[in-house]
Every structure is written in structure tokens, then in C-alpha cells.
Amino acid sequence: MKLKKKVKVKNPLGLHTRPAASIVKILQPRKASVFFIYKSERVNARSIMSVLMLAAQKNTSIEIEIEGEDAEETMNLLVAAFEDEFGEKNDRK
């Protein structure tokens, strides 16, 4: 199964180290292949350096591309993490 979905980066500092580390942590137990596509760059989302190199800033859209047996569950986890700003949303309150 192959899934694609666009998500918005809501973190004030964009996809910096903390969100990138969260993404890698979410993906560790997952079996699916996960890629992020931004400005014609397609990177392996399991690589913290690749995610950081996208330099995606606040309010930009990233396309998530997932393929594999647990693709749907993986997509749900990633979308929820982007929506929650990787836990940083609660830190500002």
C-alpha cells in the first residue's frame, strides 16, 4: 500500500532538531518506507540529517509518502505529530 499526504509545518522554528528527532523516533519501530518531499527534494524520513537538510520553515507544506505493510498506521502517527507540533505546542502555553 502506498499513501501520500500533505502536512503543514506549524512549529515556529520549522523542522529543526527536536521535531526531526521525534520523526525518527516515531519511525524506528515501523516497517514502512517513509519519504518527505519538499521543494523537489525527496528524502528518507528515517534520517535526522536528511529531515534537517530540507530546511522546512513554518507554514510550509511537506508531502509524506509511505509504502509498506503498516503504512496507514505510520501515516496516522506522523500526521498527528505534525498537528501537535511535535509536543512543542504545549510548551508555549
| pLDDT, tens only, 46-91 | 999 999 999 999 999 999 999 999 999 999 999 999 999 998 876 6
Contact 51/43 with Cβ under 8 angstroms?
yes
- Residues assigned a catalytic role: 16
In 3D space, the residue among 40, 38, 69 whose CA is nearest the CA of residue 55 turns out to be 38
Residue with cell 496507514: 72
SS3 category, 55? coil
Enumerate domains of the chain plus CATH numbers: 2-91 (3.30.1340.10)
Q: What is the mean pLDDT of residues 10-31?
A: 96
Which pLDDT does position 92 carry in this prediction?
Answer: 55
The pLDDT of residue 24: 96
